[in-house]
Amino acid sequence: MISNTYLDHNATTALHPQVAEKMAQWLQTTGPANASSLHQHGRDARKQLDDARDQLSSLFDVEASEFHFTSGGTESNNLALTGLAPIDAPLFVGTTEHPSVLEPARQQWQQGRAGGLLEVDRSGRICDFEVTEGALYSIQWVNNETGISQDIPQLARHIHDGGARLHIDGAQGFFRLPQSIPELSVDAATITAHKSFGPVGVGALWIRKGLLIEPLLRGGPQEKKIRPGTENLLAITGFGELARVAHSTPLWDVAALRLAREALVTPLQQVPDCRIVPHQEDDWPGCVHVGFRGVHAETLLVRLDMAGISASSGSACSSGAREPSHVLAAMGIDIDWIRSSIRLSLGPVERTAENSIEQLSKVGSQLAAIVAQLRQRNFKTPPGG
C-alpha cells in the first residue's frame, strides 16, 4: 500500500521551512503589536508590515504601496469585483472562474448590474469576445481544477484596447509561474500565499496606482481604508518571507513537475475509457484532471484515501457541494465524464519524497488497479443490487 501521499496541492501546501522558521521566530520574539499604534511596539509592527510589502514589491516588480493585504484569495476577489469599477459599469467573468469570482458576480447581476459570462472553448481557453467600453473583466490566470492557463498579456491588450479594465485571479499562478505583474499588463491582481508554501489566511490585492476602489468593509484606516481591520501580522510576516525566498530561489521546479506529471499519467493512459484533460506547454504541469468512465469520483476518492493517497474532485472551496464541475461543463465535457473525474495536484518534486518520479509512477499504477477493481465490482453487481 502507498501511504501518506498528498496530491492536493492546488487546495493548499505545507509551509516552506524558511517561512515556518520566520513565523516561529516572530512568535518567540515579538510582543503585543498593533501596527496602528503610535508607540514603539506599534512602530515595530508597522515596520514588519512595510517590510512584507517591500518584499512583495521586489518579487513582482511593482510599487509597494499598490499592495493591500487581505485574508486571502476569496476576499481579494470579492474586493476587486466590488470596487474596481462603478456599479453601473458592466462586469464580465469567465465561465470557469473560481466560486469566489462567480458567486459575487452572479449576485451583482441579480441586483441589476450589466455584464455576463465569457465562454471558453473545449481546451478551456477564453474564446474571442467583443470588449464593452468601461467594463470590468475578471479572469482566472491558472485554473484551480485543470491547471489550464489563460494568455493574460494577450487578453489584457484586447481588453485595454476596448477601453476596459482587467482584474486577474492569480491565486494559482503567482509564486508558480515566473511572470511579473508588469509583464501581465493587468489593472489588478489577486495573490494568495498558501497555494505555494505560505501561511493560510493571508493574501493581497494589487491595484494599479490611480484606480479608485470601493471597499467591502467600513472601519479603521488600515490598508488605506481599502481593507479596514487589524492586520494579521504573523501571517503577513510569513507572506513577506515567502516573497523574499521566491525572489532568490524559484519555489517550483517546473521542468521536474513535467517529468513527474508524465510518470503519473503514463500508467493511466493504459486504462480503457480514461480521459485526461489535455495540457499545452504554458499550462501548470502540477495538475492532472482525469476521469474513468463508469466509476464515480466519490467512490474513487474514498478508495484512494484508504490506500493512503489524498486527492480531490475539484475546487476545495466547492467540492463538498457534490455538484458536477462547472469548469469541465464549460469545456463541453459530457456529464458522465464529469461525474467520474478527479484532480491530482502535485507538490515540489525536489523537496517531497511522496512526489518523486518513482512514487508518482506507483500512484498511477495503484490508481489504475483501483479503477479496474471498481469496474469489476460494478460489472458483477446485479440490476437493482
Q: What is the DSSP string of 36-101?
A: T--SHHHHHHHHHHHHHHHHHHHHHTS-GGGEEEESSHHHHHHHHHHHSS-TTS-EEEETT--HHH
Strand-pair category, 136-140 with 115-118: unpaired
Q: Please provide the distance, in angstroms rounded to a whole number, between the alpha carbons at the two ends of the chain.
A: 30
| Amino acid symbol at 284 | W
CA–CA distances in Å: residue 120 to residues 87, 126, 192, 223, 328:
26, 4, 25, 35, 10
One-letter identity of residue 171: A
* Pairing mode of beta strands 5-6, 309-310: parallel
Let me know if 317 is a catalytic residue. yes
Amino acid at 59: L
Residue with grid cell 515540489, as numbered in its chain: 348
Of 127, 274, 287, 317, which one is the catalytic site residue?
A: 317
Helix, strand, coil content of the chain in percent (nearest 5): 40, 15, 45
Cell 496530491 belongs to which residue? 7
Question: 52-89 burial, b if ≥16 CB within 10 A, otherwise e?
Answer: bbebbbebbebeeebbbbbbbbbbbbbbbbbbbbeeeb
Contact between 291 and 274 (Cβ < 8 Å): yes
303 closest CA partner among 258, 355, 363, 242: 363
Please list the active-site residues.
317
